[in-house]
Structure formats: structure tokens, C-alpha cells
Structure 1
Amino acid sequence: METNGLIKSDKIMQKIQLVQGEFTPSEASDVIMSLIDEKINFHHNQRLQKWEQNHKHDSEELEDRIKQLEKEKQKTREFIANAKALKKNILINGILEIAIVENLL
């Protein structure tokens, strides 16, 4: 059913199984670091776009998120190093939950 050009859907939430399985520490590092790096790059690009639109734009929120992700990378490195030292594999269950929401911006 269409309403004003928009598609009406009863489904407002979706789960995406992004990563699932057992990995060696090296494989787990590659997977997790790639995901975190991609998110960091996303925020760097957002910051640049905001700055190009307005050189006085306050990017503190984006900077804080980048710092938070860098801390998560470090914690992940330590966790993976521990698994490697124990000669153990790592189980990853990465689920993204997405939802349709009212515009907040």
C-alpha cells in the first residue's frame, strides 16, 4: 500500500547477521578491525563533509565517537592477544539491529 509516495510497511525493525562463526585470532582481528576502521573512516568523512559545508562546524561529537572507536580497537587488540597467547580461537556473533524511526534531525 502506498501513501503519499511512501511505502507503508508493518516491519519497522530488521536484524542482520553480519558476522557469525569461529575464527583464529588473526582472522578475528582482520574481521573486527576492518569493521571498526570502516566506521572510523565513516566518521572522518562525515567530519570533512560538515567542515566543507561550514568551516566553523563543531565536530566535537564526531571526534568523541572516533576516540571511542579507537579505544574499542585497543580493547579488541588486547582481547585477541590474550586468545592468541592461550592458543584459542574466537567466536564472533555480530548482529546489526536496524529500525525505521522518526527523523531526529
Structure 2
Amino acid sequence: MISNNTRTEQKINLIDGSFTVNQASDIINSVLNVKINFHKLQRLSRTEGNTEDTCDFDNGRIDELLAQQIIAKKFFSEARLEGKKIKMKSVIQITLED
């Protein structure tokens, strides 16, 4: 049970600033790799006890994240060619739900 004094929302300011293209690329690839690996572990955990589980959500999410990595790589490549710096901001919002 959650008391009246318990926070029901948390915000984490994960990324905020200007970066070189290489720095931004490293940050984004690292974050995407962590999420991809998370879903791979979830998939492995599910199929370990049930080989008939197709893990549709995890497989779909992995595909989405891999596609985003390709898009980001192209974006950073273009920014590098144009001599641009990258500004990034990322806030993770966490909310309790029933």
C-alpha cells in the first residue's frame, strides 16, 4: 500500500547537453545496446521454461531498436560530414500505476 507521502512519479534527467558527433553516437549506441540486450535476456528467460513462447513483444522491440540504431548511424554520419555538434536531452519519466 502506498501512503499519502509516497511519490508516485520520478523523473531522471539522463542526458542533457551538447556533444561531439562521436560522443553523441557513443551515448545513443550504448543506450540502444542496453535496451536490445535487456529484451534478448527477457526473451531467453521466457523461452527457457517454455520453448513454444514466440516472444512477439521482445522480438518486435528488438527489431525496432535495431532499426533505430541504423537510422541514428545515418543521422550521425550526416552530422559528421556537415561538421555539426549534437544537442541531446533525455528525461526518463517513471510513474506508478495499478
Q: Is TM > 0.5 for Structure 1 vs Structure 2? A: yes
**CA shift for structure 1 position 7:** 4.4
The superposition leaves residues 24-50 of structure 1 with CA deviations (integer Å, 9 ceiling, x where unpaired) of 000001000000000000000000000
Instruction: Please give the TM-score of this superposition, normalised by the length of structure 2.
Output: 0.93
State how far apart, in whole Å, the 2-side matches of 1:82 and 1:11 are. Answer: 42
In the alignment, which residue of structure 2 is the partner of 1:34?
Answer: 30
Where do 5+ consecutive residues of structure 1 fail to align?
A: 1-5
Opposite residue 44 of structure 1, the aligned amino acid is K
State how far apart, in whole Å, the 2-side matches of 1:80 and 1:24 are. Answer: 10
**CA shift for structure 1 position 85:** 0.7
In the alignment, which residue of structure 1 is the partner of 2:72?
Answer: 76
1:58 matches 2:47: no
In the alignment, which residue of structure 2 is the partner of 1:11?
Answer: 7
State how far apart, in whole Å, the 1-side matches of 2:32 and 2:73 are. Answer: 12
Alpha-carbon RMSD: 1.2
Q: What is the identity percentage for the equivalent residue pairs of Structure 1 and Structure 2? A: 32
Where do 5+ consecutive residues of structure 2 fail to align?
A: none
Paired residue total: 97
Following superposition, which runs of at least 4 residues in structure 1 exceed 4 angstroms of deviation? none
Instruction: Please give the TM-score of this superposition, normalised by the length of structure 1.
Output: 0.87
Q: After alignment, is 51-60 or 41-50 more displaced?
A: 51-60
In the alignment, which residue of structure 2 is the partner of 1:3?
Answer: none
**CA shift for structure 1 position 82:** 1.2
